[in-house]
Amino acid sequence: MKGLDQHDRPREKLMALGAASLGDNELLAIVIGGGVRAMSTLAIANAVLEQTGGLHGVCRASHHALRRMKGLGAARAAQVLAALELGRRALIRRPPSRVQLRSPREVAEYLLPIYGGRPIEQFGMVMLDSKHRVLRTTVVSLGALDGAVVLPRDVFREAATAGAAAIVVFHNHPSGDPSPSPEDVTLTDRLVEAGRLIGIEVLDHLILGDGQFCSLRELGRLAR
């Protein structure tokens, strides 16, 4: 980036004016860290944003997709994904006391920043105490629900170990559409029934999309 005016160099601009003054491409250029032959860091960042459809698309891109883009490669793609993950984690506030989740919307607001935009389907659960305060959140299975078996014994073994009185199960739809499938409803019924036998209530099954969610309890699809 030697050909750029000093005020147009992302790193120097950040030091002079602060990170908030930078555009998406400039911030991404700093994360990438360096250019390649005949392609500056800023040019690489612009190309990545163009190919993925903007910053939102970068957030949803896989390592495999990023590393194939000109100027990135495996190491720089990993840097980009690591920076995005740090940003996601920074959205999670850790108050002095445990978070209490009293409605599907509160659960969704708790989960969406971490799991809502994932490119791979993840199935997990939020484990709650008797006052519906969060004990722990964990991912139980990776991959589409029709390809990765979610066994009730795995779910409730983890919940029992945590001393959970109730759980909210969740999974994300990489398509961004949180509409439930018949398989989602069937799995929910199995988990609700198993929870009754074990004594751990399944309060809801949330499907997370792209900034939106679907609650099977709100839809009246939780087995009674």
Higher-confidence position of 178 and 118: 178
If pLDDT is split at 50, 70 and 90, which confidence band does 95 have?
Answer: low
Structural domain boundaries of the chain?
6-90, 104-215
Sheet holding 134-142, edge to edge: 134-142, 122-128, 166-172, 201-208, 213-215
Chain position carrying tokens 């008797």: 130
pLDDT digits (tens, 9 = 90+) for 137-148: 999 888 765 545
Average pLDDT of the segment spanning 186-214: 93
pLDDT digits (tens, 9 = 90+) for 68-89: 998 898 999 999 999 988 888 8
Tell whether the model's pLDDT for residue 48 goes beyond 90: yes
Please report the pLDDT score of residue 96 as a whole number.
63
**Degrees to nearest 5, angle at CA 113 with 20 and 62:** 85
| Rounded percentage of the chain residues whose pLDDT exceeds 70 | 91
Tell whether the model's pLDDT for residue 24 goes beyond 70: yes
Regarding pTM above 0.75, the answer is no
pLDDT digits (tens, 9 = 90+) for 175-192: 888 999 998 999 999 999
Dmax over CA atoms of the chain, in Å, equals 69
Q: What average pLDDT does the structure give for the chain?
A: 87
The DSSP code sequence of 188-209 is: HHHHHHHHHHHT-EEEEEEEE-
Assess if CATH 3.40.140.10 describes domain 104-215. yes
Q: Which CATH class is domain 6-90?
A: mainly alpha
